Amino acid sequence: MSKSVSKSVKPIKIVVIGSGGVGKSALTLQFSKSKFFLDYDPTIEDSFSKSCYIDNEMARLDILDTAGQEEFTSMREQYMRLGQAFLVVFSVTDRKGFEEVDSLIQLIYRVKDREAFPIMVAGNKIDLQNDRCIDQSLAQELVQRHQEFNPYCAYIETSAKTRLNVDLVFHDLVRLLRLYNAKGGSKQAKKSKCSLL
Amino acid sequence: STQKATEMPKSRRSSKDKQDGGCVSVPSLTVDLAEDPVCQGAVAWLQKSESALLFDIAERLLQNQEFDMDAVRSQMPSPLHWVIVKRHIDLVKERACPSDGADPEASSPQLNQEPLADDLGRMNSLRIDAKSLEPSKSLQEFSLPDDPLGHAFVGDFSEKDMEQLRTLAHIELAVQFEKAGHRPAFRYTAPLTPAPASPLPPPSPTFGWRRHKSPSSKSRNGGSSWFGVSLESMLEAERKLRLPETQVPHLVSSLINRLQSCGLNEEGIFRVSGSVAAIRELRSQIETDGPNAPKIAKADPHDAAGLLKGFLRDLPTPLMSGPYVEYYRCLDQLPTMHQRLIGVNLLVMLLPSVACHTLKAVVDLLGSVLDHHNENLMSLRALATVMTPSLLPEELTSTLGDSERSAAIVELLINYRQFAWRVPATLVRHLRSNKCFFHGLDRLNEPVEEIQQPDPDEESISLTLPDGSCQNISLPRELTAWDLLHRRCGSGNNPDDFNLYEIGGNIKERRLPANTQLRQLLAVNPKMSLLIRHA
């Protein structure tokens, strides 16, 4: 029954990006299949869909899992153009992956040609407390800097392994998108439509 | 044998049917072979008189339809010769009836397939036994049988020998694909290297390299000697800096050394990205201090891996590309793992020397990474997936499907790295026997290689020592290259510092592996002499 309902709902295109080996696929698979996969195969590109109720409203999520390595960039711009909301993942145990978060967010703004866009930053692998090298405050600071002009940006700590905040991070991203569509986003879109006409 | 008897007339009839249906009025035989990669390679390999003779045979075969193809084939001195004849016939037929049937492209490879497949049985040089096929793994395990003549590898031959071997590899590669019903386009472009000054009897074909990136990439690198320039010009720049001469650019080897010493146990090596800022700093350090910049030896392994990948991607021509791009693209069309492995082996042989050696250095490193997969968690598939965009051209990695197909090639290359740089024994045999190949129709019946049984008595051979002196030595039975080196260089020197080379006959120079049986080698190359030189 839920399937027939979900078909009538327009899917939301979510793109998961982030540096290599930070756990993008693990998060995506934990959310869509409720499993933690131990294999360590890098993704080139993968997609999943999942329907769920968020705040009593049906949502159909088309999630695109992407490659973290910069050498796969030839496909990057294309999927970025299609994405309606972005999940930017880094690992709290990997300083370099965190350093890339800011430039990835900048890239979203550039490709989308927007100053504000629904972006969720996920600090993953927080189950590995002993290896942690990125403090919560550090990540929060970064997101706060973006929030000054992008109110649709937020930070959540996750663990794909223990399933901590996995649903929350996707659900909150959908909430951000709804907010964006209801307010600034729709205005922006209308603006561009008008200018086209 | 009954099966054979029923099959043979059938195959002959099928080729006849085609001729009957396709109104064969054999035209003059001036087919432009220069455009056909198979013949181009083959003709370059043979001497003029030989190829003229072969075309003469082809002409007779074409004009006399009752000619027994199988008999002629069995009389050919080598499969290579038959390939040329067959190719020639096919080309003429294609010209004669281009609109034959609805789909001439589909029917002509089929015609080729049968006889060529037979020949390949003989030409299949990687005599590899499929030992086991683990159900969990998609890759088979192969092993090489011992070869008393010693396994030959790409780096063992002089460049002159390699040029000839590449021609043979090119033919063999085309045959492999032809057998599977494919004719990937060969991207022939103007050669970058001028023809050798003194063209020797078999002129070496110079295959030009298609520039993968626009020349603007050169200006983009802002006059750098180390990034975005060809491997050859890097070696040139190193020579100017008076660095020791090597086959692999110093920058590549120093990055590899760094990774060998500290990167193998690093989790997600080559997958986890390095720090953008640190890599940029390393680059500028290299620009000022040259390819042995001390910073490299202290670099974080992920930064070193990132820099190595970036360097490979910045090359004007990716390591695995060139005129054979379409062959890489079609490799998975070869039906068996064995054939794909032969394909990879031949494609590696066809790389220009520096690219070939550099690729070997990189793949050997990846092999070491794989050996430590319990620590670094990088599986074969993982490693191949992340390395593919740095090794193959963008046109073979820009979509998901292409990426996966290309990663499968890299997987083969890493997994079978001990085979991929081998020179198949049949090709070496062809190289050795070039001149005594073919002397005219009347001698067709003679065996190509008169393998002389070694005399019971000791044979003697000329040996040149490192100091240039020359002497005749006797070759006892069972004497190996290792034995000889130890006898001649044992006192006061380390024999491992020396190499033994086979020279003479049609071999310009080939380094011999330690287990080579010298007597048996002399039997297949009676004109050879030996040379010992510092490694």
Give yes or no: residues B398 and B483 share one domain. Answer: no
In B364-479, the DSSP E strands lie at 422-423, 459-464, 470-475
Which candidate, B253, B302, B252, B258, places its Cα nearest to that of B277? B302
Give yes or no: residues B324 and B254 share one domain. Answer: yes
Q: Do B272 and A97 touch (CB under 8 A)?
A: yes
CATH code for the domain in which residue B397 is found: 1.10.555.10
Whether A195 is in a domain gets the answer no
Gap from A126 CA to chain B (nearest CA, Å)? 17
Whether A187 is in a domain gets the answer no
Give yes or no: residues B484 and B377 share one domain. Answer: no
Whether B184 is in a domain gets the answer no
| Cβ pair B381, B407 in contact under 8 A | yes
Whether B5 is in a domain gets the answer no
| Cβ pair A60, A9 in contact under 8 A | yes
Whether A168 is in a domain gets the answer yes
Whether A193 is in a domain gets the answer no
Q: Map tokens 């986003």 to a residue.
A: A185
| Cβ pair B142, B121 in contact under 8 A | no
Whether A90 is in a domain gets the answer yes
pLDDT at B94: 61
Taking CA B175 as the corner, what is the angle to CA B171 and CA B180, rounded to the nearest 5 degrees? Answer: 155
The interface predicted TM-score (ipTM) is: 0.85
Gap from B248 CA to chain A (nearest CA, Å)? 23
CATH code for the domain in which residue B523 is found: 3.10.20.90
Which candidate, A173, A137, A171, places its Cα nearest to that of A152? A173
Give yes or no: residues B298 and B359 share one domain. Answer: yes
CA distance B157 to B512: 9
CA distance B420 to B349: 8
Print the domain residue range for A55.
Answer: 3-182
The whole-number average pLDDT for the span A21-45 is 91
DSSP alpha helix (H) spans, chain A? 2-8, 24-33, 76-82, 95-112, 136-147, 166-182, 184-196
Using CA coordinates, name the residue in chain A closest to B273.
Answer: A20
CA distance A37 to B336: 31
| Cβ pair B425, B147 in contact under 8 A | yes
Q: Of all helices (H) and strands (E), which one includes residue B110?
A: helix B104-123
- Closest partner CB to B398 (pick from A39, A41, A74): A74
pLDDT at A186: 47
pLDDT at A189 over 70: no
Using CA coordinates, name the residue in chain B closest to A23.
Answer: B272
Whether A196 is in a domain gets the answer no
Buried b or exposed e, range A122-133, using 16+ CB within 10 angstroms = bbbbbbeeeeee
Give yes or no: residues B396 and B493 share one domain. Answer: no
Gap from A105 CA to chain B (nearest CA, Å)? 16
Give yes or no: residues B405 and B482 share one domain. Answer: no
Which candidate, B243, B212, B211, places its Cα nearest to that of B225? B243
Count the domains in chain B.
3
Domain-terminating residue out of B359, B383, B416: B416
Give yes or no: residues B321 and B465 share one domain. Answer: no
pLDDT at A187 over 80: no
DSSP-derived pairing of the beta strands B529-534 and B459-464: parallel
Whether B194 is in a domain gets the answer no
DSSP-derived pairing of the beta strands B422-423 and B152-153: antiparallel
Whether A178 is in a domain gets the answer yes
- Closest partner CB to A41 (pick from B381, B389, B403): B381
Print the domain residue range for B238.
Answer: 231-416
CA distance B11 to B43: 27
- Closest partner CB to A40 (pick from B379, B397, B403): B379
Using CA coordinates, name the residue in chain A closest to B403.
Answer: A44
Q: Which residues of chain B have pLDDT under 50?
A: 1-34, 99-137, 189-220, 435-450
Report the side by side order of strands in the sheet with A45-54: A45-54, A57-66, A11-18, A85-91, A119-124, A153-157
Give yes or no: residues B340 and B473 share one domain. Answer: no
Domain-terminating residue out of B96, B128, B163: B96
Name the pTM for this structure. 0.76
CATH code for the domain in which residue A22 is found: 3.40.50.300
CA distance B126 to B425: 7
Q: How does pLDDT run across B57-116, given as a tens digit for each residue?
A: 676 666 666 556 666 666 665 566 666 677 667 666 665 655 443 333 333 322 222 222
Q: How is B230-272 classified by DSSP, letter by letter? A: -HHHHHHHHHHTTPPP-SS-HHHHHHHHHHHHHTTTSTTTTTS
Count the domains in chain A.
1
- Closest partner CB to A21 (pick from B272, B313, B397): B272
Gap from A69 CA to chain B (nearest CA, Å)? 7
Give yes or no: residues B404 and B472 share one domain. Answer: no
